[in-house]
Amino acid sequence: MAAANKPSAAPGDASSTAAVPSGRIGRLARMGGLATGLASGMVAEGLRRWSQGDRPSARELLLTPANARRVADQLAQLRGAAMKVGQLLSMDAGELLPPELSDILARLRSDAKPMPLGQMDEVLTAAWGAGWDQRFAQFGFTPIAAASIGQVHRARMQDGRDLAIKVQYPGIARSIDSDVDNVALLLRMSGLLPRGLDVAPLLAEAKRQLHEEADYRREAECLERFAALLQGDDAFVLPRTESALCGPTVLAMDYLASEPLESLAHADAAQRDAAATQLLRLLFRELFEFGWVQTDPNFANYRVQPGTGRIVLLDFGATRRYGPAVAGGYQRLLRAARDDDRAGVAQAAEAIGYFGTAIVPAQREAVVDLFLTACEPLRTPGAYDFGASDLAARIRDAGMALSMERDFWHTPPADAIFLHRKLGGLYLLAARLKARVPVQALVSPWLDGPAPAAQGG
């Protein structure tokens, strides 16, 4: 790297960065160390409890806050697929996990420590060649964001254009399948997952999605697709890609000055309501019009431009194709839920794949009740007040009660899991903003219209 751009040392102190194990042996050693740490934690906790006269079970010894922290901390060090599995399990199967593990895994949705400067230089040299920094008038070596797959840096081109450059952690793409399998095996053998819960479909889908997320060229294509689909929609703004700098491990795009959407929590009611309304409107367009849904509900993916109030959309790695059959199934399901048609909800849910073959009538009715609860905003004329509602808690409690019935556990289709993940995230965001949203008015044109047609690729 040229001296003009190269810092004298890695940014921050040693504790501010963490090298990402890139080789199979290094990553496997992390998993082995985690297993050993869990066992040691069980022994220490057992001795402490027994000295006090308790006789805890092995499960109680395993599910201590300290052991749960060990799981979360090691997954965060591995990043990549290992960290992503923790994120998916905490979000998509959270109602089925022990509270101790679910609470700690939720930490994995936060930013990870960035990789050291040397590793980042290796990735960029492999992508752009030696002397890559000569392309830039300025390159910020301290990342402005770091997460499970990569970290983001700000740079300025020689022509003055400001870019945000996402750099993938080394070895992530190669480690996906083995990391997913290793984490699942560890969680299963340790007892941290319920024995009756079949997570195989979820894990298979996690591998597929992670391979897609690790291909930054695909993410660039999805970003460009959404920019075209949303052309003329003044509510949103998307960064342009810099195609000459994009590749499998690097994504370069405009840096757009913006603030976290959550900062609107202190804005006036009209701004808060408008932001939540636009995002829910966008979701219905994605599902019923575009046939493509950005399924990651991370709040960090939504920002707002000061002054204009336009919503900046980021991170299209988790974009998923939804064909007319799936969209049509949800059209029927949501229409029946809006109209309080229990039989219609049950029929649509069965067609989508929500019911296992062994489900009993009482459980079937409980699932219908859960859908009707989740669709409460659709049945509310006028604006639904997310800030004054305990909807999220009621959905969680109903799902937890259902999951306690061991013979019920059934993994819905992946399309359903990721769509619910997105809708649930938008519900939480609307609640965080204390927004009032006319959900029924937003979705009814799609529900009362013709069935969704086949979309273009």
Maximal C-alpha separation, the chain: 72
Catalytic annotation present for 296:
yes
Half-sphere exposure of 302 (CA within 13 A, CB side): 27
CB 339 within 8 A of CB 440: no
CA neighbor of 400 nearest in space, from 202, 194, 195: 194
Rounded to a whole number of angstroms, the distance between the first and last alpha carbons of the chain is 41
70: left (phi over 0), alpha (psi -120 to 50) or beta: alpha
CB 108 within 8 A of CB 79: no
Distance CA 411, CA 268 (A): 41
* C-alpha angle 183-150-10 in degrees, rounded to nearest 5: 115
Burial 365-403 (b: 16+ CB within 10 A, else e): ebbbebbbebbebbebeebbbbbebebeeebeebbeebb
C-alpha pair distances (Å), 421 with each of 87, 127, 246, 295: 11, 33, 29, 7
CB atoms inside a 10 Å sphere around CB 447: 20
C-alpha pair distances (Å), 319 with each of 130, 147, 204, 226, 352: 33, 17, 17, 10, 20
CB-count exposure of residue 425 (10 Å: 0-12, 13-18, 19+):
buried
The token duo for 323 is 């064909």
The token duo for 262 is 């959550």
Q: Tell me, what amino acid is at 305?
A: Q
From 296, 340, 385, 415, active-site residue: 296
Q: Which residues contact 457 (CB under 8 A, 6 or more apart)?
A: none
Hey, which residues are catalytic here? 296
